[in-house]
A and B are shown apart, each in its own frame.
Chain A
Amino acid sequence: MRDHENEFRALGASLAAIGLGDLNYARLFREESQIAFPLLVDSGRKAYKAAQLKSGNVFHIFRHDNSEARGRAKAAGYRQNRLGKNPFQLGASFVFAPGNRDLLIHLNRTFSDHADPKELLAALR
């Protein structure tokens, strides 16, 4: 997402990320990733619950797609700092518009499933 931030801005859209954990980890994440858009912390999972995001389970760890994704991340130099209190929480990507309109909903089905930024950009065009 960070790599596509300018494209989102060019289309008049803003970006924000919501994560679990605490403010310290969010600050650390911002410093390491050098992300400029807002990083919000939802330690109580209020937003996750409101959006009804799903959770994975221990069997997802052994899925082939997740193993491959872990390998790619490791090869790229990424490392996981901490699992946190809800390690099986799955993420999601949305494009929302004024008037509380949902332009795109992508609910991650497993740990390695993420929306392609191109899909998000296409929803804005």
Chain B
Amino acid sequence: MTPTLSLFHASRRTTHLRPPRQRLTCNALFVDVGPLPLRDYSRATAQDYFPNCERIVGDPELGDLPLISLSQVACAAHQTVPQISPAPFQRQRFRISLGAVAESISGKLADIVLPESGGTQVRLGSLWENNPAAIVFLRHYG
């Protein structure tokens, strides 16, 4: 079962954690906490924000969740952060993060069916259904 985490955004300019406007299912929690400790941003507990989360351990206030910076999210969304002007940066970054993690890449690929070189049709999701898989996209064959 995929862990269900809710996404929220904490930027270095905000003073409080902001829960998302919508609940999302994603595989990681994306937080950019800036230079301050995460707990300085919130008086809420992690359970207030992540009622459906399977596992919250560690920090009593916010938990030991997988933290990935929003710049990585932007990379995952194929956005170039430096191209975003400073003024709308926070809003833009927030929008990117929501869009980027709404569905994992593997989730987007799972139902695509492609022929194998021998002619067999393969549903991509079947490659990592029961065990992990390394998938390499080549530019071309040969």
Using a CB–CB cutoff of 8 Å, the interface residues on chain B facing chain A are 1-2, 27, 75-78, 104-110, 112, 114-119, 122, 124-125, 127-142
* Bound-state Cα–Cα, A45 to B123, Å: 15
Using a CB–CB cutoff of 8 Å, the interface residues on chain A facing chain B are 1, 8, 11-21, 23, 25-30, 32, 38-42, 46-48, 50-54, 80-84, 86-87, 89-103, 105, 107, 111, 115, 120, 124
* Bound-state Cα–Cα, A27 to B119, Å: 10
- For the A-B complex, the count of residue pairs with Cβ-Cβ distances under 8 Å equals 180
Cβ 8 A contact of B112, one of A1, A25, A38, A46: A46
- Contact in complex: A81, B142 (CB < 8 Å): yes
CB distance from B5 to the nearest CB of A (A): 11
* Bound-state Cα–Cα, A42 to B104, Å: 20
Cβ 8 A contact of B137, one of A29, A81, A84, A91: A91
CB distance from A79 to the nearest CB of B (A): 9
- Contact in complex: B142, A89 (CB < 8 Å): no
Question: Which residues from chain A contact B132 at a C-beta distance below 8 Å?
Answer: 11-14, 95-98, 103, 124
